[in-house]
Amino acid sequence: PGRWRGRERAASSPARGRVPPGAARCSAVGCFCSALGSVPGLREHGRNLRALPRAFLPGLECDLATNLVGQPLVKQQLLSGVREFLATPNPAKPLVLSFHGPTGTGKTYVSSMLIRHLFRDGLRSPYVHQFSSLAHFPHHEQLQQYKENLKHWIQGNLTACGRSAFLFDEMDKMHPGLMDVIVPFLGPSWVVYGTNYRKAIFIFISNAGGEQIKKMTLDLWHAHKDREEISLQDLESAISKAVFESPQSGFWKSGIINEHLIDFLVPFLPLKRHHVKQCVTNELIQQGLEVRQDIVQGVADSIPYFPEEEKIFSSTGCKTVSSRISFFF
Ligand SMILES: Nc1ncnc2c1ncn2[C@@H]1O[C@H](COP(=O)(O)OP(=O)(O)OP(=O)(O)O)[C@@H](O)[C@H]1O
């Protein structure tokens, strides 16, 4: 209840300003404003940003440090962005994060992790709303209807809980123009229809910009530099330009980019062989299996790498690791 559940829901979004079916009020357990009561330090420091302790959101920090492999830029961007946003009682605008990168590098993984730490019921929370282009907006000829539904859905859910989260997966497959209806929700517009929209979190996930990230990482490697030496600023402008100019992208000529509404453009770098090995080890531990070096090596060797000759970066990141493990037992 309270979530957009696919095609059958697309035709029946909530009426403007009304609480969507099944959604509880903001004060109910599970909305992250109340879920965060369990985060040590928030209650005392929520009203005073300057007094924010460094160890804020320790669960997320620990989870990222333990389980996320080879993405230092992501850890850094995400933690600073989310901490500051949550510690501000009246944020100037909603938090807008955009995850970009090649396949299997951890974009969906990190977004689920973040949601788990913010909402007691994680992705199942009625305050978390996921949209996928293929599942929710499959027919181009219904674009106008999708726009209206999406706008009303966001409005209705933000009326129910200002601290809601909206995840848009496969942004590169969204119909160009669809996302423009959400532009007014992403900016600093104060109160629209009696609701404060500045406390929401929006997360966009896409492969758009992935080719630019791969190229820049590869160029660094050819220059004998570490992939972590990549410049965040260079990456940001290359990705923004690529997604804005690509007619295949949901960001195509979009006000989201033009009006600089993304607060953190988070690049996910291609993973190297030793990162894949770490993913295999993590997965073996998670599945309660013995960590055998021959299996770690075997799984890592079975994955395709690029460039063709040197075979440095995994072409599928860690995406197929868990399914491959079963072949080695
Ligand atoms: N950086 C990483 N650290 C640890 N595990 C990872 C990482 N990247 C991917 N994985 C593993 O691979 C699985 C698939 O990754 P995920 O779905 O997050 O990739 P993605 O970047 O969203 O890919 P796509 O663009 O194809 O959707 C995850 O569930 C996780 O187990």
**Candidate from 78, 98, 109 with most ligand 1 atoms within 8 A of CB, to mutate:** 109
The residues, ordered by sequence, that sit 6+ positions from 280 with a Cβ below 8 Å of its Cβ are 295, 296, 299, 300, 321, 325
Nearest to 99 by CA among 84, 114, 86: 114
- Mean pLDDT confidence for 134-148: 89
Which domains does the chain show, CATH number per domain? 7-267 (3.40.50.300), 273-328 (no CATH)
* 313 CA → ligand 1 middle, Å: 14
Average of per-residue pLDDT across 200-206: 94
CA–CA separation, 102 vs 159, rounded Å? Answer: 35
Instruction: List the structure tokens of 280.
Output: 């295999």
The pLDDT value recorded for residue 298 is: 96
Q: Quickly count: other Cβ atoms within 10 Å of residue 275's Cβ.
A: 22
Residue stretches of the annotated binding site for ATP: 101-108
Query: Would you say residue 2 has pLDDT above 70?
Result: no
Ligand 1 centroid to residue 286 C-alpha, Å = 15
Of the pLDDT bands very low, low, confident and very high (cuts 50, 70, 90), residue 44 is very low
- pLDDT for res 192: 57
- Between CA 242 and CA 113 the distance in angstroms is 27
Q: Which residues contact 44 (CB under 8 A, 6 or more apart)?
A: 51
- More confident: 195 or 207: 207
More confident residue, 299 or 183: 299
Distance 38 CA to ligand 1 centre (A): 28
Q: Does the beta carbon of 31 sit less than 6 angstroms from any atom of ligand 1?
A: no
Whole-number Å distance between alpha carbons of 281 and 314: 16
How long a stretch of residues is the chain?
329
Q: Using 50, 70 and 90 to split pLDDT, how confident is the model at 55? A: very low
pLDDT tens per residue across span 168-192: 998 888 888 888 888 888 888 655 5
Does the pLDDT value for residue 307 go beyond 80? Answer: yes
Question: How many Å lie between the centroid of ligand 1 and the Cα of residue 321?
Answer: 9
**Rounded mean pLDDT, 291-297:** 95
Query: What's the mean pLDDT in 145-149?
Result: 92
- 208 with 168: CB under 8 angstroms? no
**What number does the ligand 1 atom closest to the CA of 112 have?**
18
Phi, psi of 202 (to 5 degrees): -115, 130
Q: pLDDT class for 129, splitting at 50, 70, 90?
A: very high
Residue with tokens 């910009």: 209
- Taking only the tens place, the pLDDT of each residue in 239-285 is 888 877 777 667 777 778 878 889 999 999 999 999 999 999 999 99
Does the beta carbon of 46 sit less than 6 angstroms from any atom of ligand 1? no
Measured distance CA(78)–CA(65) in Å, rounded: 12
| Percentage of the chain exceeding pLDDT 70 | 80
Confidence of residue 56 (pLDDT cuts 50, 70, 90): low
Tell me the CA–centroid distance for residue 115 and ligand 1, in Å. Answer: 15
CA–centroid distance, residue 105 to ligand 1 (Å):
5
pLDDT above 50: residue 81:
yes
Distance 94 CA to ligand 1 centre (A): 26
Residue nearest to atom 25 of ligand 1 (CA): 103
State which H helix or E strand residue 228 sits in.
none
Could you tell me which of 107, 84, 106 has the C-alpha nearest to residue 95?
Answer: 84
Binding site membership of 316 for ligand 1 (Cβ less than 6 Å): no
Query: Would you say the CB of residue 106 lies under 6 angstroms from ligand 1?
Result: yes
User: How much is the average pLDDT of 74-100?
Assistant: 90
Q: Whose CA is nearest to atom 12 of ligand 1?
A: 319
DSSP letters along 136-188, please?
H---GGGHHHHHHHHHHHHHHHHHH-TT-EEEEE-GGGSPTTGGGGGHHHHS-
Binning pLDDT at 50, 70 and 90, where does residue 150 land? very high
Ligand 1 atom nearest 110 alpha carbon = 18
Looking at residue 194, what is its pLDDT?
62
Quick one: pLDDT band at residue 201, thresholds 50, 70, 90? very high
Atom of ligand 1 minimally distant from the CA of 105: 8
104 lines ligand 1 (CB under 6 A): yes
Binding residues: 101-108
Residue nearest to atom 16 of ligand 1 (CA): 106
In b/e form, how buried is each residue of 130-160, taking b as 16+ CB within 10 angstroms?
bbbbeebbeeeeeeeebbebbbbbbbbbbbb
**Distance from Cα 268 to the centre of ligand 1, integer Å:** 10
Which residue bears the tokens 């966001």?
A: 154
